[in-house]
């Protein structure tokens, strides 16, 4: 499952959305949205259903299996990224926290305001207060079905979800979904390296 598929499955309401609504919401061409929907249906993460009273309108609905796959993806991503963060010394961790406060702020407003729908989640609230060590989140876990934390791959930027902006995800998932397409994407490794370099 890719970040885009996770984004769609987590953001779909239980009664689904039409492909046109989804394409508009995700800023995708209709053909791209149809291809994405086809992949989700083939994988069992979503299903198509004709709208009641309108046989020409098809809605895409999430399946229980799809929601489970999306949550598993986020869980494995959080563990993989937490393991990378766990290797950072205190100064690098502080630099990473500072960068999140700089780049995680909603634009054009105060942090006390709710971010607009579709805005990337601000990272600041997911960094610890003084005396709290987020590296404790790097808990052991079973074998991951996702790529190795040190795997390389294409870097993509984008917001994390079009779901509820107030939903807490935890810092590792926040960083991962904000910066890369797969857990351990090279862009994340480079970001962690940059934080370490800035702090030295």
The pLDDT tens digits for 113-162 are 344 444 333 333 333 344 444 444 443 344 444 333 333 333 333 333 33
Q: How confident is the model at residue 89 (pLDDT cuts 50, 70, 90)?
A: confident
Note the pTM of the prediction, 2 decimals: 0.48
Pair 167, 122: CB distance under 8 Å: no
- Give the sheet arrangement for strand 17-18, strand by strand: 17-18, 54-62, 46-51
Per-residue pLDDT, averaged over 29-43, amounts to: 92
More confident residue, 31 or 125: 31
- For position 195, what pLDDT does the model report? 53
- Report, at the CATH architecture level, how domain 3-62 is classified: Orthogonal Bundle (1.10)
Question: Is the four-CA dihedral 121, 63, 149, 157 of positive or negative sign?
Answer: negative
- For position 42, what pLDDT does the model report? 95
- For position 181, what pLDDT does the model report? 43
SS3 180: coil
Dist CA 110 CA 53 (whole Å): 45
Q: What is the mean pLDDT of the chain?
A: 63
Q: Which residues pair with 46 in a beta bridge?
A: 62
Per residue in 59-68, pLDDT (tens digit) is 999 999 999 9
Question: How do the domains of the chain map onto residue ranges?
Answer: 3-62, 68-199
């Amino acid at each position: 499952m890719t970040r885009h598929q996770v984004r769609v499955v987590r953001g779909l309401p239980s009664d689904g959305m039409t492909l046109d609504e989804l394409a508009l919401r995700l800023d995708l061409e209709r053909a791209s949205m149809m291809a994405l929907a086809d992949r989700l249906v083939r994988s069992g993460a979503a299903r198509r259903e004709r709208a009641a009273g309108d046989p020409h309108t098809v809605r895409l609905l999430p399946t229980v299996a799809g929601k489970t796959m999306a949550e598993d993806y986020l869980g494995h991503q959080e563990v993989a990224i937490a393991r990378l963060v766990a290797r950072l010394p205190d100064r690098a961790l502080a630099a990473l926290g500072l960068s999140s406060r700089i780049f995680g702020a909603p634009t054009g407003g105060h942090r006390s305001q709710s971010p607009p729908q579709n805005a990337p989640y601000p990272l600041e609230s997911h960094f610890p207060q003084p005396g709290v060590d987020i590296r404790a989140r790097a808990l052991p876990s079973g074998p991951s079905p996702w790529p190795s934390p040190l795997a390389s791959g294409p870097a993509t930027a984008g917001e994390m979800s079009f779901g509820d902006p107030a939903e807490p995800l935890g810092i590792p998932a926040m960083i991962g979904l904000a910066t890369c397409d797969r857990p351990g994407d090279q862009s994340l490794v480079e970001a962690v390296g940059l934080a370490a370099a800035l702090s030295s």
